Amino acid sequence: MDIIKKASAGTLESSDVYVEIEPGQGIQLELESVVEQQFGDSIRALVQEVLAEYGVENARLHIADRGALDCVIRARVETAVARGKGE
């Protein structure tokens, strides 16, 4: 089941990440991060991995990272996906 509505998860506080998701064509990922240069690619790869795990093939995402660790990014993307699916 794909994303059916706009949803978000997380905050803009330090060590957190704010994830916004909405219906889209293919995966469109927009990332804003304080550690973009060093970790941008790995954050994108992690987000793609979580989307694949949850069967999301079409969605537009805006991600504002505040230095979140992988487990936090994973949790926030999972929550945004579940909310976007209307679960």
Partner 1 sequence: MRRSMLFIPGNTPNLLINGAYLGADALIFDLEDAVSPDEKDSARNLVRNTMKYMDLRRCEVIVRINSIDTDYWKKDLDAIMPQKPALIMLPKSGCAQDILTADAYMTEVEERLGWEKNTVRLMPLIETALGVENAFAIASASSRVAAIFLGAEDLTADLRCKRTKGGNEIAYARSRMVVAARAANVDVYDTPFTDVNDDEGIRVDAEYAKSLGFTGKASISPRHVGVINEVFSPSQKDIDYAYEVMEAIRLAHEQGRGAIALHGKMIDAPIVARAQQTIAMAEEMGVGKVVDHE
List contacts with partner 1 (CB under 8 A): 9-10, 13-16, 68-72, 74-76, 78-79, 82-83
48 vs 79, which CB is nearer to partner 1?
79
Instruction: Name the minimum Å distance from CB 9 to partner 1.
Output: 5
Instruction: Name the minimum Å distance from CB 25 to partner 1.
Output: 27
Query: Is the Cα torsion angle 9, 81, 60, 42 positive or negative in sign?
Result: positive
Q: Of 16, 6, 21, nearest to 67 (Cα)?
A: 16
Collapse the DSSP code of 41 into the 3-class scheme (helix H, G, I; strand E, B; otherwise coil) and give the result: helix
Largest Cα–Cα distance of the chain, in whole Å?
Answer: 34
59 vs 65, which CB is nearer to partner 1?
65
Determine the Cα–Cα distance for residues 51 and 24; give it in Å rounded to an integer: 13
One-letter amino acid for residue 9 of the chain:
A
27 vs 72, which CB is nearer to partner 1?
72
Instruction: Name the minimum Å distance from CB 10 to partner 1.
Output: 7
